[in-house]
Amino acid sequence: DTGVSQDPRHKITKRGQNVTFRCDPISEHNRLYWYRQTLGQGPEFLTYFQNEAQLEKSRLLSDRFSAERPKGSFSTLEIQRTEQGDSAMYLCASSLVGTDQETQYFGPGTRLLVL
Amino acid sequence: AQSVTQLGSHVSVSEGALVLLRCNYSSSVPPYLFWYVQYPNQGLQLLLKYTSAATLVKGINGFEAEFKKSETSFHLTKPSAHMRDAAEYFCAVSGRIGNEKLTFGTGTRLTIIP
């Protein structure tokens, strides 16, 4: 049983560039969450999917951010026109609705640095 | 709205001593409560969770936490600290079915003194 995987693990980009991150959840998990963690802080909720449907988006998710889960399996998070304030760890988690009291299992994260 | 407050951003204990990490929550509905641990440059690993069954919850690596509704607390303890326990610990709260997103505290960095 493989856990949640994220790719890439690290990304350095210049301000104004677009970046895309991928998350592969635990097989058959129907919920997928994205969180952002800045230095010295706890993770903050960004958005989540149940299967293909994006059910909630945080106000933190500006228009420059978009997330998809086209086939209800992997998900992508794209940031357009990156800003230095986007530098953070982006965490993905998955869970299975209806079992295990909705425990979320986290991936290793993608660390983004915007220069 | 839900929130958690972790008292003490840094805690240091000697190896073999009691570990106590504090978490207080605020929730308008009966909460689910969680403790996660994060090692450097890694994601979060679930230590334990409270979901309205037993108020004393046992987790991995010898940790446990007690849900106290009257005190709105969910403190994490371990009787005897080990060097490998050095990490960042996060308390989190979520609602029940239909509101499962996690709201995290700001974390407590645990240092173990040899």
The pLDDT tens digits for A59-112 are 888 899 999 999 889 999 999 999 999 999 999 999 988 765 578 999 999 999
Contact A102 B32 (CB under 8 A): yes
Nearest chain A CA: its distance from B87 CA (Å)? 13
d(CA B67, CA B51): 10
Closest CA to A82 of A8, A19, A7, A9: A19
Q: Cβ atoms within 10 A of the Cβ of A50, count?
A: 16
Confidence class of residue A57 from pLDDT cuts 50, 70 and 90?
A: very high
pLDDT for B100 equals 79
Which pLDDT value is given to residue A40? 86
Q: For residue A106, give the nearest of B41, B44, B51 by CB distance.
A: B44
pLDDT, tens digit (0-9, with 9 covering 90-100), for A11-48 = 999 999 999 999 999 998 999 999 999 988 999 999 99
Compute, in degrees rounded to 10, the torsion defined by CA atoms B69, B85, A87, B101. -30
Question: Do A109 and B45 count as a contact with CB atoms less than 8 A apart?
Answer: no
Residue A1 has pLDDT above 60, yes or no: no
Question: For position B1, what pLDDT does the model report?
Answer: 78
Confidence class for position A8, pLDDT limits 50, 70, 90: very high
Stretch B62-91: mean pLDDT, rounded?
A: 96
